Structure 1
Amino acid sequence: MSYNAPPPPPSGPVGQTPPPNNLVWAILTTLFCCLPLGVVSIVYAAQVNGKFAAGDLAGAQESSRKAKQWAIWSAVVGVVVILIYIAVIIIAASSGTSTSTTSL
């Protein structure tokens, strides 16, 4: 007599696929762009699979949307900060070379 284990319970709503959790984008923007906004994105990305498994498809989709939105904001802020930094360096370098010395 062989024992057959019961099949695992279905994960999420039947016939539905989980929305993308955007976790990779959240992690990358946290590391390379803007840490505070990226962390918020990671928090929302981590909620997607749990909400889907609990049967909350609307909540999973909302968390997915927010994770993507915060990752985009993090990337934009990171690019803006880098551009401002480059502009400050260029301005500082150009103002530093305009001094002249005279000998008496």
Structure 2
Amino acid sequence: MNEQVSHPGTPPPNYLVFAILVTIFCCQILGIVSIVFAAQVNSKWNAGDLEGARIASKNAKMWAWIGLASGLAIAMIAVLLSVFGILAGISLGGMDF
């Protein structure tokens, strides 16, 4: 039987939208970890585990930010490598026609 415990206040934010956007656009692995924690927030809150809901919310936010940062870092590295490759090609005369 699934009983809901009544308690005052609102549940902590679950960051599910943020986690989904990170999964789609930045880093799938870390985004999925964030989605798992985000999905736990409301269920833990409804079960009466207030501290567990807060911890899950904190973890969902943390993993979403880590996923966003790593996705941006990978994109920046790819752009820098492309620019350096183009500059190296130009300096070696690879663009002479």
Scaled by the length of structure 2, the TM-score of the pair is: 0.88
- Residue deviations 1:6-53, cap 9 Å, x none? xxxx85542121110000100011111111111000000000010001
Larger helix fraction of residues? 2
SS in 2 for 1:14: coil
Q: Which runs of no fewer than 5 residues in structure 1 stay unpaired?
A: 1-9
- Between structure 1 and structure 2, the one with the greater Rg is 1
Letter of the 1:31 counterpart: I
2:79 to 82, 86, 103: 86
Identity %: 45
| Map of 2:24 onto structure 1 | 31
Q: Root-mean-square deviation (CA), in Å?
A: 1.6
| Map of 1:6 onto structure 2 | none
Scaled by the length of structure 1, the TM-score of the pair is: 0.82
SS in 2 for 1:97: helix
**1:97: Cα distance to partner?**
1.6
Q: Which runs of no fewer than 5 residues in structure 2 stay unpaired?
A: none
Residue pair 1:13, 1:57 contacting (<8 A) in 2 also = no
